[in-house]
């Protein structure tokens, strides 16, 4: 007598197994934030959207999905932008040297670096690295952000400070390394995502947004019915 064993469909593990081809890595998708089921659900969901080449659909990327609060979605975007800015600076490093850019300028304005205890002049690359380090430390601070799944309104001042300083990195690249800026932007839309996020959450006054609007950064007009 034989016993029939019903075959169950295996549960797909969301991990990159040894031997996985590079183009097949992270090949899974999520239908919602709650489906992720980890403490880093917001981060994993956002990165999943970016892997689907959704980086060019900025409005959809910034739309708050169900299962996460509006400010927690902002927090995850800021973390992701900092991750991508690390790669951005690694590329900019090849042409933004201390000799070529001995101080941090965005257009004609010179900025002092606060990463030395007391603000003082710093090379553009040094300023950029110190500013990114500051943003990463702040986002990882249990005092500033005690619970990434429940960001409070009191944390808005931290986002505003980060955006003001990080914006200068993009402004320096635009005004002093235009070819690099345009090459990066056409491939990643990183600045477009950053400035649209800043406008959506009112993190910076328009007077501080000194890069001319690009086709990707202009807010679409509201549709009236």
Q: What is the CATH number of the domain that holds 75?
A: 1.20.140.30
Average pLDDT of the residues of the chain: 82
Range of the domain at 114: 70-207
**For residue 69, pLDDT beyond 70:** yes
The answer to whether 158 is a known ligand-binding residue is no
- Res. 207: pLDDT tops 60: yes
Instruction: Please state, in angstroms and as integers, the Cα–Cα distance from residue 17 to each residue in 21, 24, 25, 41, following that order.
Output: 9, 10, 9, 21
Contact 139, 75 (CB under 8 A): yes
Residue pair 33/41 in contact by the 8 Å Cβ criterion = yes
Domain-embedded: residue 218: no
| pLDDT band, residue 108 (cuts 50/70/90) | confident
| Spatial separation of the C-alpha atoms in residues 132 and 162, rounded to whole Å | 9
Per-residue pLDDT at 19 exceeds 70: no
From residue 51, give the alpha-carbon distance in Å to each of 84, 140, 161, 202: 13, 24, 29, 27
Average pLDDT on 202-208 reads: 93
**CB of 83 closer than 8 Å to CB of 221:** no
Would you place residue 66 in the very low, low, confident or very high pLDDT band (cuts 50, 70, 90)? confident
What residues form DSSP beta bridges with 113? Answer: 120
| Per-residue pLDDT, 115 | 81
Would you say residue 3 lies in a domain?
A: no
Q: Name the more confident of 176 and 29.
A: 176
Looking at the 3D structure of the chain, how many domains does it have?
1
User: 48: pLDDT confidence band, cut at 50, 70 and 90?
Assistant: confident
Report yes or no on 170 lying in a domain.
yes
H or E element in which residue 105 lies: strand 104-106
Mean local confidence (pLDDT), 91-105: 94
Q: Which of 31-35, 84-88, 96-100, 121-125 has the lowest mean pLDDT?
A: 31-35
* Cα–chain center distance at 147: 19
Binding site annotation covers 122? Answer: no
Whole-number Å distance between alpha carbons of 53 and 92 = 23
Whether 13 is covered by a domain: the verdict is no
Residue holding tokens 């807010």? 219
Give strand pairing partners of 105: 110
CA distance 14 to 126: 38
Question: Could you tell me if residue 29 is inside a domain?
Answer: no
What's the DSSP call for residue 43? H
Give the pLDDT score at 214. Answer: 85
State the pLDDT confidence band at 5, using cuts at 50, 70 and 90: very low
| 80 within a domain of the structure (yes/no) | yes
Residue 3 has pLDDT above 50, yes or no: no
């Amino acid at each position: 007598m034989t016993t029939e064993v019903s075959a169950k469909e295996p549960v797909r593990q969301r991990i990159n197994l040894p031997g996985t081809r590079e183009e097949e890595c992270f090949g899974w998708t999520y239908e919602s934030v709650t489906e992720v089921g980890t403490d880093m659900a917001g981060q994993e969901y956002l990165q999943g959207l970016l892997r689907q080449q959704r980086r060019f659909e900025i409005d959809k990327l910034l739309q708050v999905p169900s299962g996460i609060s509006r400010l927690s979605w902002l927090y995850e975007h800021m973390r992701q932008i900092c991750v991508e800015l690390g790669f951005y600076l690694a590329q900019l490093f090849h042409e933004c040297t201390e000799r070529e850019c001995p101080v941090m300028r965005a257009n004609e304005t010179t900025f002092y670096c606060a990463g030395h205890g007391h603000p003082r002049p710093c090379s553009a690359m040094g300023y950029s690295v110190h500013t990114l380090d500051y943003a990463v430390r702040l986002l990882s601070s249990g005092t500033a952000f005690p619970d990434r799944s429940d960001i409070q309104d009191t944390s808005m001042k931290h986002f505003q400070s980060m955006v003001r300083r990080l914006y200068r990195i993009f402004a320096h690249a635009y005004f002093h390394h235009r070819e690099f800026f345009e090459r990066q932007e056409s491939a990643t839309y990183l600045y477009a995502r950053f400035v649209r996020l800043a406008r959506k959450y009112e993190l910076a006054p328009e007077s501080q947004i000194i890069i001319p609007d690009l086709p990707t950064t202009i807010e679409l007009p509201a549709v009236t019915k």
